[in-house]
């Protein structure tokens, strides 16, 4: 295997996933936000809220146009660049791929119908709202199917091995494994949080650009209403993310100990294992750079008590270890999560006890950038998951190098696809700006 | 084998019909540009892509034991088609969302031609896949079919009327 080709293929897949995940976030979250505001508008008989829902739905449809094409490209890459994955496990894990097409079809049909029936007099507002629920159903089913495939790659199940061949394939068990559920319920709140915070952030930035004295004028009441509702939504999602993160930590300790050891840079198997903050891997199992160790915290994370024994990197051959820079990714991710927590909690505290301070430029700017921070957290989370599984494509069975196509050099495509993503991204941003300019809802609430 | 071919070829046929319709409209609008999106079937954009993904997934998931050979046969044409579809998306966004004046220029021509290029490459892909299946007669992952067919019928029942409505509307 040519290492350069493997490297190029990894970069291509990483670029594709990194690009596509941004549209996944919005594709999953905007239908929920749109339905929520449409429902509020119907119940309160408030046309402004329905107008907000309609405005967001236009952006949702636009982002789908881009997301569909990047999703299609990823489906092709997954099969054609890494045929080894499906050759090994296709008869076990093929079912979620097939079910994903159901979900995709439901989402596509009902999204198109939803968008084309706004203000249609033959369809009641409540029926229109119900059409939106099918979009939510389709997008989340699709997310589950894809997440279950990734979960299976992290912890393969639902089959036996005999003479190097997969036998006794249990396709249902593979699709609904514990790891799939853990990943799904940890990912979803994070997606909802990051996309909702981005939307709230855009409204905050809009107010930030207004003269400070004017920010509390009635004409901005609707913007404040949206920001407050979305920050509450984000706070709930943040708590759910934290709970599921704890479950994920325990799952990793039990099922993917080498990944946890790499993420925490835990070299030795021990109880009372410390949680490392900062530092990078050095030569001969050392830690370089400024860092602190919180005694026993990793053991508590892994098993709720300091007595829990946590497996270290010393139990795994060097060739089976992932790149240790995943620890730095984790540190950056945790730093960003803490910043996000301060912003969300700070906003809610000010709203409750010092509402006048909400119009402060620093507060609005903090909320404004929080969406970008949240998207970075999601990207870092996926990088840790994928890089943390290396050198395996299907952990314990098939390495990434073995999974790569043997017949074609993908280096050329490795340049062409990222270029097309860049152009798509720029055009999408310009298109969103145009929609915002032409459709934003103004007025009191 | 017969079920596998049906599951692959039916979405291909539906995709070809829908895509040719969109190709036709992309050229028609070069002569009769209208001001808005009514000159193109934006509502069905995602549905048409879904049919393509459906066909690809069926081909690859039902024949995973021979995926090396299939992937090798369709690799170049499929990736080039994907690039053509990406170009089509970029042009679509530029024409219908970004630019101010609906005046025909090279972007519109690129948009229309990207349909043709993508369609030709996808036809090549399907023919190569069929040739591979004909020559090699690979084993089918039949264990998926009992799970898949009932669900497919249910989904088609749910989606049939909306689909019909969508392809009869242009915005």
Check CB contact of A175 with chain B, cutoff 8 Å.
Answer: no
Q: Which residues of A fall within a CB distance of 8 Å from B77?
A: none
Contact A154, A387 (CB under 8 A): no
Quickly state the pLDDT bin for A64 (edges 50, 70, 90): confident
Query: Which residue in chain A has the smallest CA separation from B161?
Result: A109
Among A44-58, A101-115, B54-68, which range has the highest average pLDDT? A44-58
Cα(A241)–Cα(A185) distance, integer angstroms: 8
Phi-psi domain of A322 (left: phi exceeds 0; alpha: psi -120 through 50; beta: other): beta
Per-residue pLDDT reduced to its tens digit, A289-316: 999 999 999 999 999 999 999 999 999 9
Q: Is the pLDDT at A90 greater than 80, yes or no? A: yes
Q: What are phi and psi of A276, to 5 degrees?
A: -95, 130
Q: Which residues of A fall within a CB distance of 8 Å from B44?
A: 112
C-alpha count within 13 angstroms, C-beta hemisphere, residue A208: 16
In chain A, % of residues over pLDDT 70: 98
Six token digits for residue A150 = 């990734």
Q: Which residues of A fall within a CB distance of 8 Å from B60?
A: 79, 86, 90, 97
Quickly state the pLDDT bin for A393 (edges 50, 70, 90): very high
pLDDT confidence of residue B45 = 64
Report, as an integer, the average pLDDT of B11-15.
84
Q: Is the pLDDT at B42 greater than 70, yes or no? A: no
Report, as an integer, the average pLDDT of B88-95.
88
**Are the beta carbons of A80 and B158 separated by less than 8 Å?**
no
Six token digits for residue A12 = 């291509």
Nearest CB to A112 within list B46, B53, B68: B46
Taking CB atoms and an 8 Å cut-off, how many pairs form between chains A and B? 179
pLDDT confidence of residue A260 = 94
Alpha carbon distances (Å) from B164 to A109, A257, B118: 10, 51, 25
Beta bridge partners of A392: A399
Per-residue pLDDT reduced to its tens digit, A19-36: 999 999 999 999 999 999
Quickly state the pLDDT bin for B19 (edges 50, 70, 90): confident
Q: What are phi and psi of A161, to 5 degrees?
A: -115, 135
Per-residue pLDDT reduced to its tens digit, A238-294: 999 999 999 999 999 999 999 999 999 999 999 999 999 999 988 888 899 999 999
List, in order, residues 6 or more apart from A311 with CB less than 8 Å away. A253, A257, A258, A260, A261, A266, A269
Six token digits for residue A130 = 């119900």
Check CB contact of A405 with chain B, cutoff 8 Å.
Answer: yes
Among A65-74, A207-216, A377-386, which range has the highest average pLDDT? A377-386
Cα(A386)–Cα(A205) distance, integer angstroms: 33
Q: Round the average pLDDT of chain A to a whole number and report it.
A: 90
Cα(A50)–Cα(A126) distance, integer angstroms: 12
Q: Is the pLDDT at A181 greater than 90, yes or no? A: yes
Cα(A68)–Cα(A27) distance, integer angstroms: 10
Q: Is the pLDDT at B171 greater than 50, yes or no? A: no
If you search the block for the tokens 């005046």, which residue do you land on? B103
Q: Round the average pLDDT of chain B to a whole number and report it.
A: 80
Q: How many residues does chain A have?
A: 445
Q: Which residues of A fall within a CB distance of 8 Å from B74?
A: 80
Nearest CB to A69 within list B44, B85, B151: B85
pLDDT confidence of residue A295 = 93
Angle between helices A361-389 and A3-44 (to 10 degrees): 140
Task: Supply the ipTM of this predicted assembly.
Answer: 0.81
pLDDT confidence of residue A398 = 92
Six token digits for residue A36 = 């929520």
Quickly state the pLDDT bin for A183 (edges 50, 70, 90): very high
Per-residue pLDDT reduced to its tens digit, A118-174: 888 878 899 899 999 999 999 999 999 999 999 999 999 988 988 888 888 888 888
**Are the beta carbons of B152 and A72 separated by less than 8 Å?**
no
Q: Which residues of A fall within a CB distance of 8 Å from B159?
A: 105-106, 109
Nearest CB to A73 within list B44, B50, B82: B82
Q: Is the pLDDT at B29 greater than 90, yes or no? A: no
CA A357 to chain centre: 32
**Are the beta carbons of B159 and A106 separated by less than 8 Å?**
yes
Q: What are phi and psi of A165, to 5 degrees?
A: -115, 145
Contact B103, B33 (CB under 8 A): yes
Cα(A53)–Cα(A60) distance, integer angstroms: 10
Q: Is the pLDDT at B37 greater than 60, yes or no? A: no
More confident residue, A168 or A333: A333
pLDDT confidence of residue A313 = 93
Q: Is the pLDDT at A382 greater than 90, yes or no? A: yes
Contact B23, B100 (CB under 8 A): no
List, in order, residues 6 or more apart from B116 with CB less than 8 Å away. B23
Query: Which residue in chain A has the smallest CA separation from B81?
Result: A73
How far is the first Cα of chain A from the last one, in angstroms, to the nearest whole number? Answer: 62
**Are the beta carbons of A101 and B143 separated by less than 8 Å?**
no
Least confident span in A64-73, A259-268, A396-405, B130-139: A64-73
């Amino acid at each position: 295997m040519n290492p350069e080709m493997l490297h190029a293929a990894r970069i291509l897949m990483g670029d594709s996933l990194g690009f596509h995940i941004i549209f996944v976030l919005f594709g999953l979250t905007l239908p929920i936000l749109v339905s929520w505001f449409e429902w509020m508008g119907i119940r309160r008989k408030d046309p402004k809220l329905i107008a907000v829902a309609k405005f967001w739905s236009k952006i949702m449809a636009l982002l789908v146009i881009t997301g569909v094409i990047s999703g299609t490209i990823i489906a092709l890459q997954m099969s054609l660049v890494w045929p080894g994955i499906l050759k090994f496990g296709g008869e076990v894990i093929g079912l979620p791929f097939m079910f994903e097409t159901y979900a995709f079809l439901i989402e596509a049909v009902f999204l198109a119908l939803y968008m084309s029936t706004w203000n249609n007099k033959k369809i009641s507002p409540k029926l229109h709202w119900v059409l939106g629920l099918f979009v939510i159903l389709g997008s989340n089913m699709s997310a589950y199917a894809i997440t279950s495939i990734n979960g299976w790659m992290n912890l393969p199940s639902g089959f036996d091995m005999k003479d190097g061949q997969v036998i006794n394939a249990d396709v249902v068990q593979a699709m609904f494994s514990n790891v799939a559920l853990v990943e799904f319920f940890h990912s979803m709140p994070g997606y909802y949080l990051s996309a909702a915070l981005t939307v709230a952030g855009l409204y905050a930035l809009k107010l930030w650009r207004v003269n400070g004295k004017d920010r509390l004028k009635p004409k901005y009441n609707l913007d404040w209403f949206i920001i407050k509702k979305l920050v509450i939504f984000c706070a709930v999602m943040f708590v759910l993310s934290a709970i599921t993160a704890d479950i994920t930590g325990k799952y990793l300790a039990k099922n993917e100990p080498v990944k946890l050891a790499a993420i925490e840079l835990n070299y030795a198997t021990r109880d009372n294992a410390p949680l490392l903050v900062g530092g990078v891997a050095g030569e001969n199992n050392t830690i370089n750079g400024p860092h602190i160790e919180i005694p026993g915290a990793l053991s508590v994370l892994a098993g709720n008590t300091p007595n829990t024994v946590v497996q270290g990197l010393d139990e795994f051959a060097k060739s089976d270890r992932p790149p240790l820079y995943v620890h730095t990714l984790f540190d950056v991710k945790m730093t960003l999560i803490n910043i996000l927590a301060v912003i969300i909690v700070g906003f809610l505290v000010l709203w409750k006890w010092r509402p006048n301070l909400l119009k402060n430029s620093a507060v609005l700017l903090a909320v404004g950038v929080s969406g970008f921070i949240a998207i970075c957290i999601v990207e870092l989370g996926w990088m840790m998951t994928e890089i943390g599984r290396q050198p395996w494509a299907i952990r314990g069975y098939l390495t990434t190098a073995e999974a790569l196509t043997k017949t074609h050099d993908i280096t050329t495509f490795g340049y062409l696809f990222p270029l097309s993503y860049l152009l798509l991204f720029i055009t999408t941003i310009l298109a969103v700006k145009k929609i915002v300019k032409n459709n934003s809802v103004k007025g009191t609430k | 084998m017969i079920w596998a071919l049906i599951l692959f070829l039916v979405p291909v046929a539906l995709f070809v019909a829908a895509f040719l319709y969109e190709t036709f409209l992309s050229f028609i609008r070069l002569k009769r540009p209208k001001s808005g999106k009514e000159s193109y079937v934006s509502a069905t954009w995602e549905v048409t892509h879904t049919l393509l993904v459906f066909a690809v997934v069926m081909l690859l998931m039902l024949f995973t034991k021979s995926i090396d050979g299939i992937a090798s046969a369709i690799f170049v044409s499929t990736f080039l088609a994907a690039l053509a579809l990406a170009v089509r998306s970029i042009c679509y966004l530029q024409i219908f969302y970004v630019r101010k004046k609906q005046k025909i220029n090279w972007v519109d021509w690129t948009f229309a031609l990207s349909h043709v290029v993508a369609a030709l490459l996808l036809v090549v892909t399907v023919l190569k896949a069929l040739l591979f299946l004909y020559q090699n007669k690979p084993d089918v992952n039949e264990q998926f079919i009992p799970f898949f067919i009932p669900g497919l019928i249910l989904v088609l029942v749910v989606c049939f009327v909306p689909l019909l409505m969508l392809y009869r509307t242009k915005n």
